[in-house]
Amino acid sequence: MIDKRVGSLPEAVAGIADGATVLVGGFGNSGIPVELVHALLDEGARDLTLVTNNAGSGETDVAALIREHRVRKIICSYPRTSGSIWFEERYRAGEIELELVPQGTLSERMRAAGAGLGGFFTPAGADSLLAEGKEVRIIDGRRQVFEEPLHGDVALIKARKADRWGNLVYSTAARNFGPTMATAATVTVVQVREFVELGDLDPECIVTPGIFVDRVVRVEGS
């Protein structure tokens, strides 16, 4: 019997290794898998590369990982959200590497990874500093820059409901990077508010089919 549900947060993040590339869903404070990130903090993996839109805020989740020196590098589009004090401090001290990526490129690089593609050309950023060192071609009459796929060893995301096959539906704008990250990681771990029986999710409305999901853990009230 297929059953991707796990009983605890430590089980959900078990085996994340030092040096792993971890995709973390969320945009601002919407859709962040806070409890999974805290479980990763407890699990202890170090030297991580985080792929996430923002660089954490305050003292929780991504900011806590950065504060505790677990993150070697962050790949993100907007590390200057108000309250990103730990990222700014580590960045100024030269203790964390930043790879800045336009937000659509960040998402599309993960989509390419999930889709088995070798990358893509995009006009976004082609005339900017962010294209430095990358191949630029004229395609359809405009300058476009080559971007490589971005794989994760692990994705940590948040959804609203899951069944035991790992089929997912999300909650409003908390969906954001979740469905794309789920496709792009070797192991996709999801925290949900609610488990439902197989067959209870309307097949017309399942957003992430369970084929992209490996572990699901329930976090009440999340």
Partner 1 sequence: MSGPRLSLSDMARRVARDIPSGAYVNLGIGMPTLVGQVVSPDKEIVYHSENGILGMGPAPAPGEGDPELINAGKQPVTLLPGGSYFHHTDSFMMMRGGHIDVTVLGGFQVSAAGDLANWATDEVGHPPAVGGAMDLAVGAKRVLVLMTHTTKVGTPKILPLCTYPLTAAGVVDRIFTELAVIDVTPGGLVVRELVAGLSREELQARTGARLTFADDVVELVPEAG
For 38, half-sphere exposure in the C-beta direction (CA atoms, 13 angstrom radius) is 10
Which position among 56, 79, 152, 166 is part of the footprint of partner 1 (CB under 8 A)? 79
Q: Is there binding between residue 152 and partner 1 (CB under 8 A)?
A: no
Residue 1 near partner 1 by CB under 8 A:
no
Instruction: Please state the closest distance from residue 178 (CB atom) to partner 1, in A.
Output: 7
- The answer to the question of residue 133 lying near partner 1 (CB under 8 A) is no
- Tell me how far apart the alpha carbons of residues 105 and 133 are, in angstroms, rounded to a whole number: 16
Question: DSSP letters of 88-99?
Answer: HHHHHTT-SEEE
Order the strands of the 142-147 sheet from edge to edge.
120-122, 142-147, 136-139
Least separation in angstroms between CB 8 and partner 1: 24
To the nearest whole angstrom, how small is the minimum distance from the Cβ of residue 110 to partner 1?
Answer: 8
CA 10 – CA 18 distance, rounded (Å): 16
- Single out the segment in contact with partner 1 by CB under 8 A; choices: 44-52, 58-66, 88-96, 189-197: 88-96
Location of structure tokens 């859709």: 31
Q: Kindly report each contact of residues 119-122 with a partner whose C-beta sits within 8 Å and lies 24 or more positions away, as own/partner.
A: 119/146, 119/147, 119/148, 119/149, 120/146, 120/147, 121/145, 121/146, 121/147, 122/147
Nearer to partner 1, 28 or 46 (CB): 28
Q: Using the rule CB under 8 A, which residue among 6, 11, 14, 29 binds partner 1?
A: 29
Tell me, by CB under 8 A, how many residues bind partner 1.
49
CA atoms of 118 and 52, how far apart (whole Å): 21
Kindly state whether residue 6 participates in binding partner 1, applying the rule CB under 8 A. no
The window from 1-9, 39-47, 123-131, 194-202 that contacts partner 1 (CB under 8 A) reads: 123-131
- Minimum CB separation of residue 58 from partner 1 in Å reads 13
> Which tokens hold the place of 208?
């992430």
Based on the shown chain and the rule CB under 8 A, indicate whether residue 140 belongs to the binding site for partner 1: no
Place of tokens 């060893």: 153
Binding mask 159-178 for partner 1 (x = CB under 8 A): -----------xxxxxxxxx
**Paired tokens of 150:** 């971005």
Contact positions toward partner 1, by CB under 8 A? Answer: 27-31, 55, 77-81, 87-88, 91-92, 98, 100-105, 107-108, 110-111, 122-130, 142-143, 170-180, 207
